[in-house]
Amino acid sequence: FDVPRTAQQYLSDWVRQGILIRRPGEGREETVELSASAGAAIGFLAALSQPRSAVNSSRLANVSTLLGALARDTDPDRASRLAALHAERDRLDAEIARVEEGDFTSLAEVEALERLQEVFGLAAEIPADFAQVSAELEQLNRSLKEEIVRAAGSRGDVLDAVFAGVDVIEESEAGRSFGAFYAMVLDVDRSNAFDEAVEEILNRPFAGRLSLRDAAFLRGLLTTLQEDSAVVRTQMTGLSRSLRRFVETQSWQEHQRLATALTDAQTAVLEAMAGASPITSTSYALASTSIPLTSISS
């Protein structure tokens, strides 16, 4: 690749283009990461270069299992819910009896690899999901502050909720959804079961057909999920604190006064336009501030 410019110049361009997002780090440091849109674009290109079959028994089994669980868990009728649970228990008892008698067969290698590829496909979408959650949280933070500033007269719902000690960002739809995922990733029992399952799978004969890259990806998947979710969690906590500081330091009142002044100024301009041309000379002189620039870099 011909890269005549510096890394900082390329990064600055990519930030302006929305490919990367710049975030404040520790102290005066900054970090950059892929935007949600860039992640989606890369995922699309990866799917074109390494297409996976969308029509397979593994995908159908996943859909069927999810639908069955959803139907059962949302059933408000006690009798039908018990009937579904009893049917599931009977199926498991029959399966246990067959295994005890030695009447079972392991999954064929082709089907095992098919299911594993389905796992890889789902796992590959998670980074883009994290980026999307981050973007939604930042947009929510901006929207909440704008709503507080726009609230006229009595305090608005968001302001009252923050004063009442409610973490509005945590309680949002995106916050609750991510919170459930984060709790699941950090659950010790689930994490141990995840690691044990990965080790058992990698020791199966069919895992020998995996590339070193895929095997390493699977082995480090849980750690990656924990680290990436911790970054989003830190961001969510920072946004919650920022919103609370915005309220507790009365910054919202200053923004509200500024918003009111801007609205009054716009109203005055509209009224003046009825009787004056935009190029009408006035006797008012506005002294603007400036700083001397001795070079392009400064």
Is 0.75 surpassed by the pTM of this model? no
Strand partners, 22: 32
Round to whole Å and give the CA distance between 267 and 148.
22
Residue type, 213: R
CA atoms within 13 A on the CB side of 164: 9
Distance CA 178, CA 135 (A): 13
Confidence of residue 4 (pLDDT cuts 50, 70, 90): very high
Do 110 and 56 touch, CB atoms closer than 8 A? no
Residue 163 has pLDDT above 60, yes or no: yes
22-68 tens-digit pLDDT? 877 667 788 888 888 888 888 788 878 876 655 566 667 777 877 88
Task: For residue 113, give the nearest of 49, 214, 206 by alpha carbon.
Answer: 206
User: For the segment 258-285, what is each residue's pLDDT rounded down to a tens digit?
Assistant: 888 999 999 998 888 888 887 888 788 8
Contact 35, 21 (CB under 8 A): yes
The whole-number pLDDT of residue 52 equals 64
Q: Give the strand pairing for 20-24 and 30-34.
A: antiparallel
Instruction: Specify burial of residue 139 (Cβ count, 10 A radius: 0-12, 13-18, 19+).
Output: exposed
Tokens of 95: 């399966």
pLDDT per residue as tens digits for the range 204-263: 888 888 888 888 988 898 888 888 888 888 888 888 888 888 888 888 888 888 888 999
Judge whether 206 and 113 are in contact, CB under 8 Å. yes
- pLDDT for res 93: 92
pLDDT reported for residue 51: 67
- What is the average pLDDT across 92-116? 86
